[in-house]
Amino acid sequence: MPNPYIDNSERWLALAEIDYLTQFVKAWIPFNAWYMNMYPTLKRDRVIIEEIKSNPNLFRDKIIALLNGTDNDSIIFKGQIAKLHQYLESIYIPNADSRITFKSLSIETNPITSETLTFRRWVYKVELTRTGNAININSLVTNSGSITQYTFNQSKFDVENLNNHLQQNSSLTENQRNCLLDTYRKIDPKKPTNLISSNRQGIEAGNIFLINDVEKLVKGLIEVIYKLRNILFHGELIPNKDNKKVYEPAFYILKTLIQSLN
């Protein structure tokens, strides 16, 4: 004889579970309404997010207060950041570049657009120039007599493309190629930042330590939340059990912050 409890328990337990994907969406809606009202002249979400990341506003100021705070709300908030970091390290959430992680995150445009290395009288120079939305990256190597030994132009930052071109179209040695590649990486427009301290010094968050740079942490946290929003709203996320876990701390972080917007 079938046992109705056993037959139905899994269904009821499933219904009892909080769907953090839905909760995250519900928390994003008032945030979206706030920033659309706050920045009526800015028409694109990405442009608005960059403004929120970089200049004083209620949302950004609340993050700063919680990161610097030592009260119970601040401790809980930083604990949720630690939980989000740990979930992102154990659960691969895809991103356009690679994955979402606090350990390698592009939080702002790299201000370095020109870099020069002089080694053994050879000069390795990489320069990025912008014309509207287009970019050009010129890589140039000259020898001790100032004679060009290699030059290459690219319309986007691409280490692999440069490396392949070097190997196929230059007579540079491996050491010389590496000198140019190392110089090239320094002008990466999306040069990643690691927000997790490697020596257990900085801002304590749960059982981890964040770097002691609140400005970068603010930008990084907003960027992570925005990336999680994008893959969810654009239908790129597989809504399985593991992926849903990531949105639990993300929801509580966002919920805490939107409460400061009243």
* Separation of alpha carbons 57 and 36, rounded Å: 13
Which has the closest alpha carbon to 105: 53, 28, 55, 67? 53
Q: Which residues of the chain have pLDDT under 70?
A: 1-16, 97
Helix (H, G, I), strand (E, B) or coil at 134: strand
How is residue 174 written in tokens?
């491996």
| Cβ neighbours, 10 Å, residue 131 | 7
* Separation of alpha carbons 247 and 242, rounded Å: 10
User: Could you state, in order of their start, the residue ranges of all structural domains in the chain?
Assistant: 17-107+194-261, 114-185
Cβ atoms 60, 261 nearer than 8 A: no
Cβ atoms 239, 246 nearer than 8 A: no
- DSSP class of residue 259 equals G
